Amino acid sequence: MTKPVILTGIRANEEPTIGNYLGAIAPLVQMQKLNAGDFQINMFVPDLHSFTTPVNHKTLYQNTLNNLKYFIASGLDINNPDTYIYRQSYISAHSELTWILDCFTYFGEMSRMTQFKEKSSEHCESVTVGLFNYPVLMAADILLYGAKYVPVGEDQFQHLEIARDIATRFNNKFGEIFVVPEATKTQTQFIQRDHGLRIRSLTDPTKKMSKSSDDKKSKILLIDNPDEAAKKIMSATTDSVGSVHFDWENQPGITSLLQILALLTGRKQHEVIQEWEGCTSYGEFKTAVADAVKNFLTDFQEKYNSISDEQLLAKLEQSERDLTPVANAMLLKAQQAVGLRPKRQTVSHIIHPAGGLNNSNSESNFSDGGISDDTSTTENLIMDTDNKPDAGDIMCETV
C-alpha cells in the first residue's frame, strides 16, 4: 500500500447515536468524496472490542452488518477500489499483534486512561481485563495497516496518543517497524475541525452522548423514531444563562446543540453561531435543532432500510481476503523484531479465515500463485499432510 491510510470503525454493541454519525461516519464519507484516489480508507467493525462491555451475543453478528449499513446509508461508496470494509475478528493478526504490544505497554499508563475510569465506574460489578486493555487492541488495529489518520471523537484522543507512544517505543527498540499515526492536533485539522467534536448527552451535557448509556433520553439513535427524537431535543437539559452562546465551559448543552444544528444542515459552524448568538428564546432555538434532527433521520432511515445484507457480504469477504496478507505481513515484521520468527521467513500466501477459497482451486494450484501442489521442493512449508492448507494458515518460504 502506497497511499496514506485512513482508518475508522464503530463497535457493534449498541446502535450508533447521532454523535457517532457526526463524529465518525459523516467525516469519513466526506473524506472519501473530497480525496478520492488520494487515500486508502479502511472502515472496519471492531467486533472484538464489543466484549469489553456487556453485549448481546445473540445479536452481535447481525449488529455487525447493521453498523456497516449506517456507513452506506451515509453515502460511503463501497465500490471505490481504495475503500476496504472488514470485520476485526476475521483477521486474526489483530489479536496476535495485541499480545506483542501488551508486553511493550506499561500498566501505569493504561491505568491513567480516562475512559476506563468512567466505564469501570458505570459497570463496577463486571469490569474485565478486556476493558482495561482495549486501547492496546485499538493500537494493533491502527498499526497493522500503517494508518496515518484515525478520525475519532475527543474521548478517544488519549487512546490515539497511547497508540503513538506504543509504536514509537517499539520502533526505538527494534527499528522502524510501525508507521506512527499523526498527532491528535494534526488529526483534527485533517478532518477539517480545529478541535474535537463534542456531542453531549441531552440529559447531562457535562458528559458525551453515549450509545451505551441506559438513559434513553440522553441520546438520539440513528434508528430512533424521528418525532420521538425531536421531542428529546425539545426536552434537552440546557442552563439558566438565558441566552444562546457558544461556550463549552458555561453552556455545554446549548453549545452541543449548536454543533448538531450546523452539521446536520451542512452550514458553517460560525454562521450558525452568528445566527443564534444572544437569542433569548431557548424554545425557538431548540425547535430549529429538533426540525433538523427530524428531517435528517427521516431521510437517513429511508436509505438505511433499502440496503440488504447480501450487498455487504460480498464486499466484506473481498476486503478481508485483500487485507489479511497485509495484516499478516506487518505481524510477521513485529514477530521477527521480537525474535518469534526467523528473519528469512516471508509471508507468501494467506487464505481467508472466513472460507474464501474457491472450490475449483481447492484440489490443485491456487489461482493467485502463492501455493503450488508441487511437492518436489522443500522450500514451501505445507501445513497439513494432504498439501491442502487449512483456512487461515500462513504459507512461508525460506529465502
Q: Render pLDDT for 113-160 as a digit per residue (tens, 0 to 9).
A: 877 777 767 666 778 887 888 899 999 999 999 999 988 777 788 889
Same domain, 182 and 247: no
Q: 282 in helix, strand or coil?
A: helix
- Indicate whether 186 and 238 sit together in one domain: no
Q: In terms of domains, do 193 and 248 share one? A: no
Q: How confident is the model at residue 373 (pLDDT cuts 50, 70, 90)?
A: very low
For residue 134, give the nearest of 50, 209, 17 by alpha carbon.
50
Q: What are phi and psi of 24, to 5 degrees?
A: -130, -50
Q: Determine which of 90-104, 221-235, 342-356 has the lowest per-residue pLDDT on average.
A: 342-356
**Same domain, yes or no: 84 and 167:** yes
Q: Is residue 112 part of a domain?
A: yes
Report the range of poorest mean pLDDT among 25-34, 83-92, 271-280, 322-331.
25-34
pLDDT at 2: 76
What are the two backbone dihedrals, phi and then psi, of residue 87, each rounded to the nearest 5 degrees?
Answer: -105, 130
C-alpha cell at 198: 463534542
- The answer to whether residues 114 and 158 touch, using CB atoms and an 8 Å cutoff, is yes
**If you average pLDDT over each of 148-157, 211-220, 242-251, 381-390, which comes out highest?**
242-251
Last residue of a domain, one of 284, 304, 324: 304
In a domain, 182, yes or no: yes
Domain termination residue (choose one: 338, 358, 385)? 338
Q: Residue 124 has what pLDDT?
A: 65
Over 80: is that where the pLDDT of 307 sits?
A: yes
Q: Which residue has the cell 475541525?
A: 193
Cα(331)–Cα(202) distance, rounded to whole angstroms? 42
Does residue 219 form part of some domain? no
Query: What per-residue confidence (pLDDT) applies to 196?
Result: 55
Under 8 Å between Cβ of 209 and 154: no
Q: For residue 143, tell me if it sits in a domain.
A: yes
**Structural domains of the chain, count:** 2
Length of the chain: 399
- From the CB of residue 192, how many other CB atoms can be counted at a distance below 10 Å? 10
The answer to whether residue 373 sits within a structural domain is: no
- My answer on whether 192 and 120 are in the same domain is yes
Taking the C-alpha atoms of residue 239 and residue 245, their distance in angstroms, rounded to an integer, is 11
Per-residue model confidence (pLDDT) at position 67: 86
pLDDT at 82 over 70: yes
Q: Dihedral (C-alpha) 340, 346, 351, 352: value to the nearest 10 degrees? A: 70
Q: Cα separations (Å) of 264 from 30, 268, 282?
A: 13, 10, 19
* Residue with grid cell 505497554, as numbered in its chain: 105
Q: What is the mean pLDDT of the chain?
A: 83
Is 47 in the same domain as 110?
yes
Given 304, 321, 355, the domain boundary residue is 304
Q: Are residues 319 and 294 in the same domain?
A: no
Q: Do residues 241 and 332 both lie within one domain?
A: no
- 319 pLDDT more than 90: yes
Predicted confidence (pLDDT) per residue in 224-262, tens digit = 999 999 999 999 999 999 999 999 999 999 999 999 999
* 393 occurs within a structural domain: no
At residue 51, the pLDDT reads 86
Instruction: Find the mean pLDDT for residues 379-387.
Output: 33
183 within 8 A of 261, measured Cβ to Cβ: no
State how far the Cα of 267 lies from the Cα of 261, in Å rounded to an integer: 8
pLDDT surpassing 90 at residue 292: yes
Q: Is residue 314 classed as helix, strand or coil in its secondary structure?
A: helix
28 and 165 part of one domain = yes
Domain CATH number, residue 330: 3.40.50.620
The reply to whether 334 falls in a domain is yes
> CB within 8 A of 247, min separation 6: which ones?
254, 255
Residue 20 shares a structural domain with residue 163: yes
Question: Which CATH number covers residue 254?
Answer: 1.10.240.10
Strand partners, 350: 394
Dig out the grid coordinates for 123 from the structure: 459497570
Confidence of residue 306 (pLDDT cuts 50, 70, 90): very high
| 296 and 241 inside one domain | yes
Specify the pLDDT at position 283: 97
* Same-domain pairing of 121 and 243: no
Query: Which residues form the domain of 27?
Result: 5-197+309-338
Residue pair 212/14 in contact by the 8 Å Cβ criterion: yes
Active-site residues: which are they?
Answer: 119, 208, 211
DSSP state of 380: B
Task: Decide if 389 is inside a domain.
Answer: no
Query: Exposed e or buried b for every residue in 348-368, given b needs 16+ CB within 10 A?
Result: bbbbbbbebbeeeeeeeebee
Question: What strands lie across the sheet with 83-87, from one edge to the other?
Answer: 83-87, 40-45, 5-9, 147-149
- What is the Cα–Cα distance from 44 to 71, expressed in whole angstroms? 10
